[in-house]
Amino acid sequence: MRRLALLALLLALPGAAVAANGKQVYGRYCAMCHGPNGEGQTQSSAVVGGGPARDQKIESGIGPSLRGVGALAADFYLRTGYMPLKKTGQQPRRSRLLLSRAQIDALVTYVASLGHGPPVPQPHPEQGNLSAGQHLFAMNCAGCHQIVARGGYVTHALPPPLGDATPTEVAEAVRIGPYVMPRFSKKQISDAELNSLIRYVEWTHKPDDRGGWSLGRIGPVPEGLATWFLGIVVLVGVCLVIGKRLQHE
C-alpha cells in the first residue's frame, strides 16, 4: 500500500512542477488581462506583472475568464502566437511565438487545471473525404476565408489565410471560434466531418491548378483585372488594324 502511494506521489510530482511553472508564466504574461486566478478581468485592479509592450496595469473588461476553457483554447491561442497580445484591443493574429515550447506546455497545463474543460483534439484528416470537406468548407468557411483558404475581410476583422494552420489548429479553431469566427459544436460539425474539412484545408496548401494560371488564388478580382488588361490590349490592336485599313482606303 505504501509502495502504491509512493508511486502515485512520484507520478504526480512532474505534473505539479509543470503546473507551478505554468503559474509563473501566467503571472508574467496573462494575469494583467485575465485576472490573477484566471477568473477574467472586468474592472480596474491593482498593478500586476504585465505582458510584453503593455503598461503594468490591469485594464477593465478586456480579459475573459479562463476557468473551464481547458487545454483546447490555451493550446490554440499560444501555439499560433495569437497570445500573449503585444497590445490590448487589437485582433489576435498569427505571429512569432513569444514563449518557448516548454513555457507553452506549462501554461497550457496550468490553464487546463483551472477547471474542467475540453482537451487538445487529435484529428485524423487521412480518414476524411476530400469532396465532403470541400463542401463543408464552402458552406461554413469560404464566406470569410475564401474557397481556397487565402483569407479575406469582414467587418472589423481580417479572417486569416490558413496556409500555415496545422490539422490540430484547424480542429481547435472550429471548436472554440476564435475572435469573430463562430464556434461549431459536434452537432453542427461532427468529428468525422471535421476530419474531411481538415483534409480539404490541407489540400488548399498546395492545390492542383489544372485550370492553368492561379492568379494568386484569391478569387475574381485578379481574374477580372487580367481579363480587362488582356481585353484592352486586344481592343487597341483591333483599333490599330482598322485605322490602318481606313487610311489606305
Q: Structural domain boundaries of the chain? A: 10-112, 125-205
- 8-state DSSP, 41: B
Give 155's Cβ-side CA count (13 Å radius): 0
- What is the pLDDT, as a whole number, of residue 6? 42
The domain 125-205 belongs to what CATH superfamily? Cytochrome c-like domain (1.10.760.10)
Residue 241: its pLDDT value, please?
A: 84
Q: What per-residue confidence (pLDDT) applies to 45?
A: 46
59, amino acid identity:
E
Kindly state the helix (H) or strand (E) to which residue 169 belongs, with its residue range. Answer: helix 167-176
From first CA to last CA, the distance across the chain in angstroms is 112
Let me know: does 167 contact 194? Beta carbons within 8 Å: no
Task: Give the CATH number of domain 10-112; options: 1.10.10, 1.10.530, 3.90.550, 1.10.760.
Answer: 1.10.760
At residue 153, the pLDDT reads 86
Please give the pLDDT value at position 87: 76
Contact between 40 and 65 under an 8 Å Cβ cutoff? The reply is yes
Tell if the pTM clears 0.85, that is, is over it: no
Query: Is the distance from CB of 42 to CB of 61 less than 8 angstroms?
Result: yes
Which residues in the chain show pLDDT less than 70? 1-19, 42-62, 209-223, 248-249
